[in-house]
Amino acid sequence: MEYNFKMVHTGKDLAISTTVLLAGIGLLFLNKGLGICIGICGLLMFVFYKGGYRLDRRGIMLTRKSEDICKDCRTSLMDFLEGRISSPTIRQGHEGGTIRIDVYFNKAERVAYVQLYDFCNYLYEPATGIIELDGARAETLISMI
């Protein structure tokens, strides 16, 4: 199954963009050039500033978090993702190498989408596909990162 995550506006993004736009309009009366510059920045933020993610087939808002973790934790994390153990061991650091974990999650819906990457030849290469976690397993992973 293919997962396509689209970047979307969150409420926080819209609030920040609106504040910058209003500040630009307010500054227009004090300093015309600065007001126009800040106002244009606010408009551009409406277009380009997106901090949330949405999966095409599900309508929930997701947050993305990436962590570099110790390669010694890889087997524990793989066992957790495959459902063999109930709680993985996750340690920050670079002892013995590095792996990266990308997690798209929503705490309220108790859902997470996870992908692991191995660091090899100065590049992150996918070690797994995107794995969907629901319920308690998703909560466990979200609380650990």
Identify the bridge partners of residue 115 per DSSP, sorted by sequence position.
102
Predicted local distance difference test score (pLDDT) of residue 75: 86
Predicted local distance difference test score (pLDDT) of residue 114: 92
Predicted local distance difference test score (pLDDT) of residue 70: 87
Mean pLDDT, consecutive 10-residue stretches, the chain (145 aa), reads 82 94 94 94 93 83 90 86 85 82 90 89 87 87 85
Predicted local distance difference test score (pLDDT) of residue 13: 93
Predicted local distance difference test score (pLDDT) of residue 44: 95
Contact 117, 125 (CB under 8 A): yes
Q: Which two tokens stand for residue 50?
A: 């997106």
pTM of the model: 0.81
> What burial letters (b/e) apply to 71-89, b meaning 16+ CB within 10 Å?
bebbebbbebbeeeeeebb
